[in-house]
A and B are shown apart, each in its own frame.
Chain A
Amino acid sequence: MDEAFLPARVAPELQQQIEQFLYAEAALLDAREFDTWLTLLADDLHYFMPTRRTTLRRERDLEYSAADEVALFDEDKPSMVVRVRRLNTGLAWAEEPPSRTRHLVTNVRITDQGNGQYSVNSYFALHRSRLERDVDLFYGERIDRLRRVDTPFGFVIAKRTIHLDQATVLAPNLSMFF
């Protein structure tokens, strides 16, 4: 059996610290505090959301787009800075007027990788309400690598892989952060 599925064995204190970090991050995104949110992203960030394919079981290795294929996000720190600068121009029409978002984070499972690095799986639901009555719903899983740092937030995100549970994205855009 894949050991990744065993119940996590981490100290309750660490579990609480990391969950609170993820909640703080969600609060920043939902409050549209994107400049502060950027400070939670490590300088060597890799922020990645592959596409999903519907495949037969025997070809399930093809379900997620590979590193050399198209992705929904394949970002580094500078490209995330450009995304936030774009929102700050006041001319990014998909977010101007801004969306109302709610990031729900659950099912947090942590593996301590040593040297202050943690692998953190979490499930998310992202609700976006926009303009008069547009609603988009996204569910999925995030696989983060967090690094402990000496800041008020306590961690930075070095790597985030996002598995969105849609093969065809049922929204006009992905103008929000996951």
Chain B
Amino acid sequence: MASFTPADLSALVDADHGLLSPRIFQDQAIYQQELERVFTRCWLFLAHESQLKNPGDFFATYMAEDPVLVVRQKDGSINAFLNQCRHRGMRLCRADSGNARAFTCSYHGWAYDMGGNLVEVPFEKEAYGQVDKARWSPRRVPRVEVYKGLVFGCWDADVPPVAEYLGDMAWYVDLFLDRMPGGTEAVGGVHKWVIRCNWKFAAEQFCSDMYHAPFSHASPVLASLPPDIDPGQAGWPMKGKQFSSEMGHGTGFFMDTPEFLFPLLGETAAGYYMQSGATAVTERLGEVRGVRMNGAHMTVFPTLSFLPGINTLRVWHPRGPDEIEIWAWTLVDKAAPAEVKEAYRKAVLRTFSPGGILEQDDGENWTEIQKVLRGHVARQQPFNAQMGLGMDRSDDPDLPGRIGYVYGELAARGMYRRWAQVMGAQSWAELAPRGLGEVASHG
């Protein structure tokens, strides 16, 4: 049972004043309530559709700490079910991915078809007489939806459709998923690694924090410059915006800084993103998303994050209040030329992956915050998320929704406000994407 009431939660998260209790990143009881309230209620990313090309193709992933199997069916649809045998709870499938006709539990041999239906029980007649197979099939993920190539699942049957859940964030997500006809495809393979920090540090940074980039990521930019360029001129862009959604999603990006991605991605990938591919994108999505925005970070609440342009997609699987497993994909426009896809494959692993020269430094911040929070005294003072407080507006000529400055914490406040709502609510009836006007009225 949930132990933190809405009143408790608003004492922990005062989004209107940009004050966050460090306890939300460290407390085991809060974490258990997150597993119950956030991660069974929100849409979670399961896989990219292109990972499941043929019937029987499966991908073993997680919804928070719960292992699930995502399987392409004979009729082309995608099913997801708990990766747990209903007999005695054994993990059904211990491979990461592959192709299967059935999943047979290695403990006592109960076998399930690829739709997740119990089809065979060894010695059934002799040992049981009969087993009610429909009743003893693995727990099905009741809602699975494919949104522009991304497979989402949700344990809550009452969740609104993904498009509605995204709300005005969908316009921004298109910057990543819908640039070209055919959308995106995933480069094969997944980067998986472990960082000892709370999941919200990572989710919030991708939601809201461009501010860390010029300092945390100073070194890769300096190192990537041609040796004859004065490092003093390697300033970070100052023009850009941030967007915060009432559903807890957020994004920030630079604007009108066409040179920004080149040192990080190289000529082939950045040239495609900003120039050769941009004409088609402009025709499809308009000039703002076609050529003016770049370098975006974004989070779809709670744990799905992207860097459009750099083209990494990742999920922050929580592993207790103080650990995450990062699973990261590289996406490319399906319609992109082969050499661009190859350039992106390399550019992403060299920048955002366990060994990526930008990504390495993020973990250092999150793990050291987490270690400091072991201290009783360190948990008593609120964190400051006040940047840009009261400076946002909802009438930007180019951009939908609530907009602030690129270096700001508007989207962080939006994420934590939503987090507190989801943590405190009894059901989706209290969380529908309408009727939040009052709580959304402060930056």
Contacts and interface: CB of A to CB of B under 8 A. Distances in A.
Interface of A: 49, 51, 53-56, 59, 62, 65-66, 68-75, 79, 82-83, 85-89, 91-95, 131, 134, 167-175
B363 A54 contact: no
A130 B333 CA distance: 39
Interface stretch (B111-119, B138-146, B192-200, B240-248): B192-200
Contacts of A70: 187-191, 329-330, 345, 348-349, 353
B132 interface: no
A69 B96 CA distance: 15
A86 B97 contact: no
B28 to A, nearest CB: 21
B16 interface: no
Contacts of B357: 82-83, 86, 92
Contacts of B99: 59
Most buried by A among B95, B196, B223: B223
**Nearest 5 pairs between A and B by C-beta?**
A69-B188, A172-B363, A86-B223, A174-B355, A169-B193
B95 A86 contact: no
B346 interface: yes
Given A82-B357, A171-B193, A56 B365 contact: no
Contacts of B183: none
Given A55-B97, A59-B99, A92-B360, A170 B194 contact: yes
Nearest to B325: A168
Instruction: Please indicate which of the listed interface residues B218, B348, B360, B367 has the most CB atoms of chain A within 10 Å of its own CB.
Output: B360
Contact of B191 (A72, A75, A131): A72
A83 B223 CA distance: 7
Given A70-B330, A94-B361, A169 B188 contact: no
29 contacts: A54-B96, A55-B95, A55-B97, A56-B95, A59-B99, A62-B97, A69-B187, A69-B189, A70-B191, A70-B345, A71-B349, A72-B353, A73-B355, A74-B346, A75-B350, A85-B222, A89-B219, A92-B219, A92-B360, A95-B360, A168-B193, A168-B194, A169-B192, A169-B193, A171-B354, A173-B355, A173-B364, A174-B360, A175-B355
Contacts of A168: 192-194, 325
Contacts of A88: 223
A56 B271 CA distance: 41
A121 to B, nearest CB: 22
A172 B367 contact: yes
Contact of B188 (A66, A171, A173): A66
Contacts of B96: 53-55, 167
B331 to A, nearest CB: 11
Contacts of B224: 82
Interface string B331-350: 00000000000100110111
Contacts of A93: 216, 219, 360-361, 364-365
A71 B77 CA distance: 30
Given A72-B349, A167-B96, A51 B360 contact: no
Contacts of B222: 85-86, 89, 91
B98 interface: yes
Count chain B CB atoms within 10 A of each CB in A59, A82, A86, A88 and give the residue with the most.
A86
A72 B330 CA distance: 12
B196 to A, nearest CB: 7
